[in-house]
Amino acid sequence: MAASISAHSYYIDSVNRIIKTQALQESIKADVCIIGAGYTGLSAALELAQAGYKVVVLEAETIGYGASGRNGGQICTGFSPGQSRLEAQLGKADAKRCFDLAEESKRLLVDRIANHKIDCDLQWGYLHCVPKPHQFKDLEAWAEEYETLGYGGNTLLTKHELEQKLGSTAYHGALRESHAGHIHPLNYCLGLADAAIKAGATIYESSAAMDINTGTSPFAITAKGRVDAKFMIIAGNAYLGKTVKPLYGRIMPVASYIVATEPLGENRAKSLIKDNEAVANTNFIVDYYRRSADHRMLFGGRASYSTMDPANLLQSMRKRMTSVFPQLDDVELTHAWGGFIAITSNRLPDCGRLSPTVFYAHGYSGQGVALSGLYGKLMAEAVRGTAERFDLLAKVKHLPFPGGTLRTPILVAAMMYYRLKDALA
Ligand SMILES: Cc1cc2nc3c(=O)[nH]c(=O)nc-3n(C[C@H](O)[C@H](O)[C@H](O)COP(=O)(O)OP(=O)(O)OC[C@H]3O[C@@H](n4cnc5c(N)ncnc54)[C@H](O)[C@@H]3O)c2cc1C
């Protein structure tokens, strides 16, 4: 499924370490078998290896091949749909505990970067920009909600104030967060993998689990090997496809795309985003962008249910970028790539058990850079016998996506609806 979406990113050309591991070639036993070497799987692997478990990670392609090595790098706050959906399901008190866990996910990321000396260009500051004047009131409500949740450090910026910080006249104000930001996602992922390996985990690349048994004595079979384990953690997210049938309908892969400009030089890059924040608009089909450490613009957006790269990707991404920054019309786009975001029907992450010894987490709905690390850690806690925090998040209910021949047409219709909603907002 994934092969047709461009994988060659700017991140691959700017990695600061190379990790190459062997494919699994034999039958082995482990305490824990983890499927997928993205943030979720590696986070669980690190925690469990540090606790002395024999951990084996099976990765179909290479470490960070999935969303973790391709994303926008934006460290976001809370959950994709906001608090109200959580409150409706869990009540205010438990929803607040979930928000606190999401805050913990950012601290976890920061601690890991510091403890394992992961060089991944961490930057703080996030601008949420509104495309329409009347949407400023939504930002005021958002700021108030954060205040109620005890989450500080936020500032409302008028159009004029925003234009002192952002070289664009496309917006009508912004909410600036001090405690959200951005990283180089692949370098963070590789750093996490390195830490997990140093803690004793074994990662097998080019080792797709083709048959995964999720019973109480779980095992996974690859082309040339097999892992029997006491516990299994499934962290294949949007790239898992139909391998684990009960998980297939719980998420939907949505493609999102990013382009990188040529290096613009420090001054020109600063004239676009003066204080190096992560930036996103507040549309459902969001534009998200930021500066890179070598002064490029990395501009992401679009959304598609197709598994094929759009024919006019560079052109359409240039159009999106120059609608915000017309002054970038003359720059060369050196990279364009895409990846699959796993969304759930209510845009809240989905986690649970397939048997008493098999755990899964996925569906961060475009907001997994920080959250996925936490879900990995909570699955590790559950393996170790303390599942209270995992079980709180597992209480969130999700409607499955439709299966069969209706799946794609219904989702395409949903996407058209959201495009229209953004246009008419
Ligand atoms: C283009 C794009 C932009 C994004 N931007 C942001 C952003 O700015 N901020 C944010 O918070 N989130 C963002 N996200 C989402 C974020 O990247 C993900 O939520 C997060 O990386 C999920 O991590 P993961 O480990 O669960 O999954 P993944 O990183 O997708 O890892 C899953 C891994 O499992 C492997 N796998 C799958 N099936 C098997 C199998 N059968 N056997 C072995 N291995 C298997 C895959 O090869 C893959 O490497 C973005 C995602 C994309 C695609």
- Residue 241's nearest CA partner among 342, 359, 346 is 342
Q: 239 CB under 6 A from ligand 1? A: yes
**What averages of pLDDT result for each successive group of 10 residues across the chain (425 residues)?**
68 97 98 98 99 98 98 97 95 98 98 98 98 97 97 98 98 98 98 98 98 96 98 98 94 94 98 98 93 98 72 90 98 95 95 98 97 98 98 95 71 69 69
Instruction: Determine how many CB atoms are found less than 10 A away from the CB of residue 373.
Output: 27
Residue 309: predicted pLDDT: 72
Residue 234: predicted pLDDT: 98
Residue 70 C-alpha to ligand 1 middle, in angstroms? 8
Question: Is the CB–ligand 1 distance for residue 57 below 6 Å?
Answer: no
Position 408 scores a pLDDT of 72
Query: Does the structural domain 2-71+187-251+346-406 have CATH classification 3.40.190.100?
Result: no
24: left (phi over 0), alpha (psi -120 to 50) or beta: beta
With b for 16 or more beta-carbon neighbours within 10 A and e for fewer, the 78-94 pattern comes to bbbebbebbbebbeeeb
Q: How far apart are CA 297 and CA 10, in angstroms?
A: 11
261 lines ligand 1 (CB under 6 A): no
Task: Give the Å distance between the CA of 237 and the centre of ligand 1.
Answer: 6
CB of 66 shorter than 6 A to ligand 1: yes
For the record, the structure tokens of 44 come out as 């669980």
State the distance from the centre of ligand 1 to the C-alpha of 68, rounded, in angstroms: 4
**Residue in 192, 369, 371, 374 to alter for ligand 1 test, most ligand atoms within 8 A of Cβ:** 369
Nearest CA to ligand 1 atom 48: 66
What is the spatial distance between Cα 260 and Cα 240, in angstroms, rounded to a whole number? 27
Does residue 35's CB lie within 6 angstroms of at least one atom of ligand 1? Answer: yes
- Cβ atoms < 10 Å from Cβ of 116: 16
pLDDT digit string (tens) for 299-312?
A: 999 777 666 677 78
Q: Is the CB of 237 under 6 A from ligand 1?
A: yes
Can you give the residue ranges of every domain in the chain? 2-71+187-251+346-406
For ligand 1, say whether the CB of 65 is within 6 Å of any of its atoms: yes
Q: Does residue 41 have its Cβ closer than 6 Å to ligand 1?
A: yes
Rounded distance from Cα 265 to ligand 1 centre (Å): 31
Instruction: State the CB neighbour count (10 A cutoff) for residue 11.
Output: 25
**Global confidence as pTM:** 0.96
**Ligand 1 site, residue 288, Cβ cutoff 6 A:** yes
Cα(173) to ligand 1 centroid in Å equals 31
Q: Which atom of ligand 1 is nearest to the CA of 73?
A: 8
